Amino acid sequence: MILPKISVVGLGKLGSPLLACAAAKGFSTVGYDVNDQVSANIRKGESPVLEPGLQSLMSANRSRIKVADNYQTVVRETSVTFITVPTPSNANGRFSVEMVLQAVRALGKSLVKKNSYHLVVVVSTVLPGDMRQNILVELEQASSKKCGKDFGLCYNPAFIALGNVIHDLLNPDFVLIGESDQRAGKELADFYEVFCDNKPNLLRMNWVNAELAKIAINTYVTTKISFANMLAEMSEVLPNADVEVVTKALANDRRINPAYFRGALGYGGPCFPRDNLALGALAKELGLQANIAEATDQINRRQAFRVIKRIEPYLKKQTKVLILGMSYKPKTNVIESSQSIDIVNELLELNALVEVYDPLALEAAKQKLGHRVLYANSLEQGVRKADIIILATPDQTFLQLMGFKFKSETKKVLLDCWRLLDEKRLDKSIQYLALGRGRTVRKPA
């Protein structure tokens, strides 16, 4: 089988892993990014983003990775182009497709001189109607060609988690393909038959169904997270209640998948919060209501305040509070919509002395928080100086706390937001609190 040559436009957190994974699977690849520094890094064989496994994958497959200087090279040297540029949220929650349209116009102008068929694949998240009303129109106008005849156009959003992107790309639960026509959909499906390590279901449908499915899936996941957190809040005020026991019981029902059903802190990152808001914005545009999405967002926004209420009895003048974990999840340096940032801001409003530590995201935190907080150079350094410790992300690094010997005149308070630690293995000088658990009441004799 002769593999098609593929190109990726936009070499950020998704685009560069997609490029490297395709090269690793034997595809000749061409990447393009408007950021010259990103292009220069990849030309040198260096990963432009922090993602586990990406650097080794790029180094091992450097011979099949080329970086283009222009769109003409992208179109001339490949037959399939994936667009992975950002679609930032507007003030009303809608996604801006301006960067997608810029890429599409440039691709279209380059398609004018191409006589052979070219497949354009939009991976960037868009809203229902964007493919037909905006992207198709711009591509046909710029190229003076006809979709379905001269080129194909697919919507193919990715379902990946930062810190696990390579695995998620190569082993998806399913592949969602919104196709302009049968030929375009088949060519993209054929690509995934080779690209994926597993054999996922290839779900082919029209554009609008794929567009709606993408944001609906992420919004459904956020709903599960907020529902579990609602149960956690209840468990904290019910004597002897434990949300972990409750959610595990629910997950035994075959209708309820246990994934993302933990009852801890809220969701964050570059996708979940904005997809949830986008579904609500879409509903309003259609003259409808998205009450579940709105309630999910409301619950998520109060999680930082919930943490503060839990430690408030221990907050005194000049109390030193250490936040462990600044990224929105482990194994990434991304702090976008991080619950930890919200917790820090709430603490600063109460005039607490705040120090933060994260194994990967400390530099990102410094750019966001500046001189308003202190920064620990190591886990041990931060812990020794703190009066209150808030374990805000379930990073495996923090399991080291179970081996620490805490020498302090006053008893330190540790709030474990994810119930990551085994209380019995902690130093006896620690007062351990856990989100999602009510106070223990002795059984009657």
**Token pair of 63 as six digits:** 């011979």
**Token pair of 201 as six digits:** 């279901």
What is the spatial distance between Cα 65 and Cα 58, in angstroms, rounded to a whole number?
Answer: 8
SS3 428: coil
What is the spatial distance between Cα 297 and Cα 7, in angstroms, rounded to a whole number?
Answer: 37
The neighbour count for residue 358, using CB atoms within 10 Å, is 27
Task: Assign domain 215-301 to a CATH class.
Answer: alpha beta
For residue 445, what pLDDT is reported? 47
SS3 396: helix
Region class of 431: left (phi > 0), else alpha (psi between -120 and 50), else beta: beta
Fold of the domain built from segment(s) 303-434: Rossmann fold (3.40.50)
What is the spatial distance between Cα 107 and Cα 90, in angstroms, rounded to a whole number?
Answer: 25
Instruction: Give me the helices (H) in 238-260, please.
Output: 243-251
Report how far apart, in Å, the C-alpha atoms of 288 and of each of 213, 291, 308 are: 17, 9, 35
Region class of 307: left (phi > 0), else alpha (psi between -120 and 50), else beta: alpha
- From-to residues of CATH 3.40.50.720 in the chain: 6-205, 215-301, 303-434
**Token pair of 206 as six digits:** 């029209």
**Token pair of 143 as six digits:** 């190229």
What is the spatial distance between Cα 244 and Cα 225, in angstroms, rounded to a whole number?
Answer: 13
How far does CA 343 lie from the centroid of its chain?
19
Of 86, 59, 68, whose CA–CA distance to 29 is shortest? 68
How many helical (H) and strand (E) elements, i.e. helices and strands, does the chain have? 17, 14
Beta bridge pairs of residue 414? 389, 432
What is the spatial distance between Cα 39 and Cα 46, in angstroms, rounded to a whole number?
Answer: 10
Q: Which residues contact 199 (CB under 8 A, 6 or more apart)?
A: none
Of 29, 203, 188, whose CA–CA distance to 117 is shortest? 188
What is the spatial distance between Cα 17 and Cα 57, in angstroms, rounded to a whole number?
Answer: 9
Biggest distance spanned by C-alpha atoms of the chain: 87
The set of long-range contacts for 192-196, using a CB threshold of 8 Å and a minimum separation of 24, is 194/1, 194/3, 194/25, 194/26, 194/27, 195/21, 195/22, 195/25, 195/27, 195/169, 195/170, 196/170, 196/171, 196/172
> What is the pairing mode between strands 65-67 and 151-155?
unpaired
Q: Which residues contact 115 (CB under 8 A, 6 or more apart)?
A: none
pLDDT 10s digit of each residue in the chain, 445 long? 689 999 999 999 999 999 999 999 999 999 999 999 999 999 999 999 999 999 999 999 999 999 999 999 999 999 999 999 999 999 999 999 999 999 999 999 999 999 999 999 999 999 999 999 999 999 999 999 999 999 999 999 999 999 999 999 999 999 999 999 999 999 999 999 999 999 999 999 999 999 999 999 999 999 999 999 999 999 999 999 999 999 999 999 999 999 999 999 999 999 999 999 999 999 999 999 999 999 999 999 999 999 999 999 999 888 999 999 999 999 999 999 999 999 999 999 999 999 999 999 999 999 999 999 999 999 999 999 899 999 999 999 999 999 888 776 678 999 999 999 999 999 888 999 999 999 776 555 4
Fold of the domain built from segment(s) 6-205: Rossmann fold (3.40.50)
Q: Which residues contact 190 (CB under 8 A, 6 or more apart)?
A: none
For residue 441, what pLDDT is reported? 61
Place of tokens 């710029």: 142
In contact, 188 and 156? CB cutoff 8 Å: yes
Q: Which residues contact 434 (CB under 8 A, 6 or more apart)?
A: 415, 416, 419, 423
Q: Which residues contact 253 (CB under 8 A, 6 or more apart)?
A: none
First-residue to last-residue Cα distance in the chain: 74
